[in-house]
């Protein structure tokens, strides 16, 4: 039966009597549409002319982040056939995640950027319903969030989305002085040193200590900071009140999901600022039921994974690509593992002798991207020299050789 037949038939149902919701929509056959044989699933990439991309870069949002693990896809499809009370779902999934991450409370957000909005909103409103209805337009002076000047970054717009103002400090003395009755929170951008180089002006421990003295909640953005898996436990243990990680990066959950976890009162206040409530600032940042289940499945799978084995596989891929590329004379490679706190996993830098191969890294990058298949790599600067960087962690096993051979062909012709 087609959906429109059922809809047409609906007004008649009461006359038929005795039909329960369960009887009308037997599980697994909602609207009679789920019986489509799997072989009939259209190739939507093809149908819409969307290019399939081989991701030899990193978990970039514009490249759709990550690929969900099979366990995540299973969780999404297995839970799609029944309704759930979203409050109960967030509460119970949150409690389980909190238990897994050894913290008081957690929620699934629509990404780390959403977690930044909700965490800040929570710090501003607490459980005050009026404030929840008013942000980002609270009367009076704007609430203030303290950040180290060196930590300012593109994602801090999520903070000011709540109506808060960012107050920049340069050192610990500055920070103490900046705290006043309008201060609602202090934000630590964990990967600032990876993005910009140098050191934090105020280290984690000191940052937390200052805030604890003044009873100011602390929030750390560690969105892209697994691996190592230990980071999922590290920052709450250090004493940060709120922590966020992206779900759609190396944890390999849904791209539009993320985690916000930490102190119970703040997480409860964050929930009040989020969907399924109608009014608050987080309402446009809804996470659907399947993504909540999917994020839970992703985290569970991530924590159970053999991370050492996975790391060895990544290294094996870099050496397999190296062997293929260095068949071209003048080509050299080097495994690159960032020293900072974000995106810490191996990739392969590719160099070549300009005497033998005339093509520039940028041209190789473009050729790969515009080729068939389309392969997206990265351009990196090492010792003020531009190099082609080939990522391995997001490749499907069969793509490792495809990437290596395609790069090899371009270099051979160059
Ligand atoms: C990716 C990222 C974000 C945004 O995360 P989403 O899950 O895409 O919302 C925020 N902060 C940092 C440092 C990031 O790397």
pLDDT tens digits for range 278-323: 989 999 999 999 999 999 999 999 999 999 999 999 999 999 999 9
For the chain, the distance separating the N- and C-terminal CA atoms, rounded to the nearest angstrom, is 59
Is position 342 within any domain? yes
* pLDDT, mean over the chain: 92
Q: Which two tokens stand for residue 153?
A: 């970054």
Residue 9 confidence class, pLDDT cut points 50, 70, 90: very low
Residue 3: its pLDDT value, please? 42
Residue closest to 195 by CA, chosen among 57, 62, 380, 340: 340
Whether the per-residue pLDDT at 112 is higher than 60: the answer is yes
- Residue 282's SS3 state is strand
Q: What is the dihedral of CA 95, 96, 97, 100, to 10 degrees?
A: 120
Same domain, 318 and 365: yes
Tell the burial category of 397 from Cβ atoms under 10 Å away from its Cβ (0-12, 13-18, 19+): exposed
List, for residues 64-74, the tens digit of each pLDDT value. Answer: 999 999 999 99
Q: Are 387 and 349 contacting, i.e. CB atoms less than 8 angstroms apart?
A: yes
Residue 15: its pLDDT value, please? 39
Distance CA(295)–CA(236), nearest Å, equals: 19
Is position 50 within any domain? no
Rg over alpha carbons for the chain, rounded to the nearest Å, is 25
Q: Are 217 and 185 contacting, i.e. CB atoms less than 8 angstroms apart?
A: yes
Residue 17: its pLDDT value, please? 37
Same domain, 246 and 325: no
Atom from ligand 1 closest to the CA of residue 115: 9
State the DSSP string of 238-256: HT-SEEEEESSSTT-S-TT
Average pLDDT over residues 72-84: 98
List, for residues 118-133, the tens digit of each pLDDT value. Answer: 999 999 999 999 999 9
Q: Are 389 and 350 contacting, i.e. CB atoms less than 8 angstroms apart?
A: yes
Distance CA(414)–CA(259), nearest Å, equals: 45
Same domain, 216 and 270: yes
Q: Could you say which of 304, 320, 338 is where a domain stops? A: 304
Overall pTM > 0.75? yes
Residue 86: its pLDDT value, please? 98
> Which residue ranges have their beta carbon within 6 Å of ligand 1?
61, 111-113, 155, 191, 221, 223-224, 246, 248, 258
Residue 38: its pLDDT value, please? 66
Q: Could you say which of 283, 304, 325 is where a domain stops? A: 304
Same domain, 272 and 125: yes
From 68, 120, 187, 221, the mutation candidate for ligand 1 (largest count of ligand atoms within 8 A of CB) is: 221
Q: Could you say which of 304, 328, 363 is where a domain stops? A: 304
Q: Mean pLDDT lowest for which of 95-104, 231-240, 335-344? A: 335-344
Long-range contacts of residues 3-10, Cβ cutoff 8 Å, at least 24 apart:
3/31, 3/32, 3/33, 6/31, 6/32
List, for residues 384-414, the tens digit of each pLDDT value. Answer: 999 999 999 999 999 999 999 999 999 999 8
High-pLDDT (> 90) share of the chain, %: 87
Residue 374: its pLDDT value, please? 98
Atom from ligand 1 closest to the CA of residue 158: 10
High-pLDDT (> 70) share of the chain, %: 91
CA atoms within 13 A on the CB side of 188: 32
State the DSSP string of 191-249: THHHHH-S--SS-HHHHHHHHHHTT--EEEE-TT--SSTTHHHHHHHHT-SEEEEESSS
Residue 36: its pLDDT value, please? 54
Is position 169 within any domain? yes
Same domain, 195 and 211: yes
Nearest CA to ligand 1 atom 13: 223
Same domain, 296 and 399: no
Q: Are strands 347-352 and 385-391 parallel, antiparallel or unpaired?
A: antiparallel
Please give the distance, rounded to the nearest whole angstrom, from the Cα atom of residue 223 to the centre of ligand 1. Answer: 5
Atom from ligand 1 closest to the CA of residue 248: 7
Q: Hey, how many other C-beta atoms are within 10 angstroms of the C-beta on 49?
A: 6
Average pLDDT over residues 34-53: 84
Same domain, 200 and 311: no
Please give the distance, rounded to the nearest whole angstrom, from the Cα atom of residue 258 to the centre of ligand 1. Answer: 9
Same domain, 227 and 329: no
| Cα separations in angstroms, 99 against 110, 170, 294 | 21, 36, 17
From 246, 247, 285, the mutation candidate for ligand 1 (largest count of ligand atoms within 8 A of CB) is: 246
Q: Which two tokens stand for residue 332?
A: 């050299």
Same domain, 333 and 278: no
Domain count, the chain: 2
List, for residues 326-384, the tens digit of each pLDDT value. Answer: 999 999 999 999 998 989 999 999 999 988 899 999 999 999 999 999 999 999 999 99
Residue 39 confidence class, pLDDT cut points 50, 70, 90: confident
Cα torsion angle, 400, 401, 402, 405, sign: positive
CATH number at residue 375: 3.90.1150.110
Range of the domain at 194: 83-304
Residue closest to 389 by CA, chosen among 327, 332, 344, 347: 347
């Amino acid at each position: 039966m087609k959906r429109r037949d059922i809809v047409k038939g609906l007004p008649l149902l009461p006359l038929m009597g005795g039909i329960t919701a369960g009887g009308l929509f037997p599980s697994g056959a909602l609207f009679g549409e789920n019986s489509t044989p799997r072989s009939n699933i259209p190739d939507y990439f093809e149908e819409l002319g969307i290019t399939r991309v081989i991701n030899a870069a990193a978990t970039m949002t514009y490249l759709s982040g990550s690929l969900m693990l099979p366990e995540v896809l299973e969780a999404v499809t297995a839970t799609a056939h029944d309704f759930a009370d979203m409050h109960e779902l967030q509460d119970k999934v949150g409690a389980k995640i909190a238990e897994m991450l050894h913290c008081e409370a957690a929620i699934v957000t629509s990404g780390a950027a959403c977690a930044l909005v909700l965490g800040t909103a929570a710090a501003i409103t607490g459980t005050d319903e009026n404030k929840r209805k008013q942000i980002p337009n609270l009367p009076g002076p704007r609430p203030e969030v303290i950040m180290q000047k060196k930590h300012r970054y593109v994602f801090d717009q999520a903070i000011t989305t709540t109506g808060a103002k960012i107050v920049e400090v340069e050192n610990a003395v500055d920070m103490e002085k900046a705290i006043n009755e309008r201060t609602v929170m202090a934000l630590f951008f964990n990967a600032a040193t990876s993005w910009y180089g140098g050191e934090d002006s105020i280290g984690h421990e000191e940052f937390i200590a200052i805030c604890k003295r003044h009873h100011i909640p602390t929030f750390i953005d560690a969105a892209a900071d697994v691996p190592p898996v230990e980071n999922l436990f590290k920052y709450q243990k250090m004493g940060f009140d709120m922590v966020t990680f992206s779900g759609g990066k190396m944890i390999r959950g849904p791209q539009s999901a993320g985690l916000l976890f930490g102190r119970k009162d703040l997480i409860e206040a964050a929930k009040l600022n989020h969907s399924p409530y109608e009014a608050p600032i987080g309402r446009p940042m809804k996470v659907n039921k399947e993504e909540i289940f999917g994020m839970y499945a992703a985290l569970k799978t991530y924590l159970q994974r053999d991370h050492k084995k996975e790391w060895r596989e990544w290294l094996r891929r870099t050496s397999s690509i190296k062997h293929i590329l260095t068949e071209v004379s003048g080509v050299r490679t080097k495994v690159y593992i960032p020293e900072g706190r974000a995106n810490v996993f191996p990739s392969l830098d590719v160099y070549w002798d300009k005497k033998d191969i005339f093509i520039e890294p940028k041209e190789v990058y473009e050729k790969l991207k515009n080729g068939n298949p389309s392969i997206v790599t990265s351009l990196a600067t090492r010792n003020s020299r531009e190099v082609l960087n080939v990522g391995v962690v997001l490749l499907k096993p069969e793509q490792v050789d495809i990437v290596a051979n395609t790069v090899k062909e371009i270099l051979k012709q160059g």
